[in-house]
Amino acid sequence: MDEQLRELKVSNDAMDDPQELRRRIGDEGYLFFKRLQDPDKLLDLRRQIMAVIREGGWLVPGTDPVDGIADPSKACTEGDLGYTDVYHEVYKLQAFHQSGHWPEVLDVLEKLTDKPVLPHPQKIARLWFPQYTDHTTPIHQDFVHFQGHFDTYTCWAPVGDCSIELGGLALLPGSHKVNHVMDHHFSLGAGALQIYTDDIDGEWHSTNYEIGDTLIFLALTVHQALPNLTKDRLRISLDNRYHTIGDPICDEVIRPHLWRFNSLSWDEIYQDWESDDLKYYWKDLVDTPETRVIPKDQGYSEHGFAEALSLAKAGDEKAIIHLERVIRNDPTSDGARAAREAIQAHV
C-alpha cells in the first residue's frame, strides 16, 4: 500500500446489523465490504466485457482477453468517439445491466435505507487504459454528475482484482459531512469536473481490491480514482447508483450512459437480450407523484466548460486537449464554436 494512502475499513462484521451499518456510513460516508459480490459472476462478466473489447481492437492480439492487455495506440477515454464505439457495445451486454441488480448489493442498500431501492437505469462501466493518467477520474462528489438527491448511493466494484497500481477508487472518510456540493472546476479527467486539493483535507483511503470487493458511498463523499500506472493492463470497473423510491431522481440517470455522443437508445441496448425482465424495469417506478423526475442542472458542467475556455485562451494544454475533443465530437455545436475561438485567441 502506498505510504500516503490508508486502508479502507472493512465492514463485513456489521453485515447483519443495519443500525451499525447506518451509523458507519453516516460517520465515514462509506462502507467497504470484502467479497460482497460473487467473484465467479464477476469473472464471467469480465470475460464477456473483454470479449467485446477485443472485438473493438483494444487488446494486444494473441494475448488472453481475460488479462486485459491493452494496445496503447488505442488509448482513449470518455468523450472520445472511439471510446463510445467500444463502450456502447459493452453497454449492450445483458449481464452488465443485470449486475446492477444482484441481490447481495440490493440487500445491503435496503438495510441502509430501510426502504425499497431502485437501481438507476444508467449503469456505468469504466474501461481505463494504462499510462493514460491525465484522464484519470479527478477528485469530485458524485452529486454534480448524477444529482437527484444527496441520499443516492454509489456502489463501485472492480471487474477483476484491482491493485493500487491498477488504480482503484480512493476516498476521504467523513468528507460528506460538509453537507453541500463543493466548488468543482474544469478537469481533463473523466467527468471533466474536479475539486481543488486546496479545498479539502483529510487522509485518502483505498486498498488493493480483490474481485468481489465493493465500496458503497454517498453522493457528497469526496473521492477520486488512482491512476492506472501498470505497463499494459486495462482497468475495468462498475459504478452503479441506487436511489430510494420516493426521492426525486434526475432525468440524466434514466438514460444510457454517454447517450449524448451517439443517441444510443434502450431499444438498441435490448436488441439481443435473452429475457425481458429488466427491460424498462423503472417505467412504473419513476415520474410518479412519489418519485419526481427532475431535469439535470447543467450549471456545474457549464461552469467547468467556461473555465476550460478561459484556461485555453491562456494556453493551458489540458484545456486545449479538452476543447479539441469537443470540436471533434460535434464540430457545428455552439460549444465547438466557442472552443475554436478560445484556442485561436491563444495562438
Ligand X SMILES: O=C(O)CCC(=O)C(=O)O
Give whole-number Cα distances, 105 to 182, 192, 213, in Å.
28, 28, 11
Do the Cβ atoms of 227 and 126 come closer than 8 Å?
Answer: no
Closest CA to 138 of 204, 72, 215: 204
Residue 144 binding target from Fe ion, ligand X, none, CB below 5 to 8 Å by type: none
Contact letters for ligand X, residues 128-157 (x by CB under 6 A): ---------x----x-----------x-x-
Residue 156 binding target from Fe ion, ligand X, none, CB below 5 to 8 Å by type: ligand X
Cell numbers that stand for 226 in this block: 488512482
Q: Is 225 in the site for ligand X (CB under 6 A)?
A: yes
Q: What are phi and psi of 295, to 5 degrees?
A: -65, 150
For Fe ion, the nearest residue by Cβ is: 142
Residue 209 binding target from Fe ion, ligand X, none, CB below 5 to 8 Å by type: none
How far is 25 from 318, CA to CA, in rounded Å? Answer: 35
Size of the site for ligand X (CB under 6 A): 11
Residues that bind Fe ion (CB under 5 A): 142
What is the three-class DSSP state of 13?
helix
| Residues between 160 and 199 with contacts to ligand X, criterion CB under 6 A | 169, 190
Q: Is 126 in the site for ligand X (CB under 6 A)?
A: yes
Smaller CB separation from Fe ion, 142 or 316: 142
Do the Cβ atoms of 255 and 122 come closer than 8 Å?
Answer: yes
Smaller CB separation from Fe ion, 142 or 213: 142
How far is 287 from 240, CA to CA, in rounded Å? Answer: 20
Smaller CB separation from ligand X, 84 or 137: 137
Cell numbers that stand for 179 in this block: 453537507
Q: Is 78 in the site for ligand X (CB under 6 A)?
A: no
Smallest separation, CB 51 to Fe ion (Å): 27
Smallest separation, CB 224 to ligand X (Å): 7
Question: What per-residue string of b and e applies to 152-178 under the rule 16 or more CB within 10 Å gives b?
Answer: bbbbbbbbbebbbbbbbbbbbbbbbeb
Question: For 69, which DSSP code?
Answer: B
- Number of other residues whose CB lies within 10 A of the CB of residue 247: 17
Residue 192 binding target from ligand X, Fe ion, none, CB below 5 to 8 Å by type: none
Smaller CB separation from ligand X, 63 or 131: 131
Smaller CB separation from ligand X, 20 or 161: 161
Smallest separation, CB 152 to ligand X (Å): 10
By the criterion CB under 6 A, which residues form the site for ligand X? 126, 137, 142, 154, 156, 169, 190, 223, 225, 237, 239
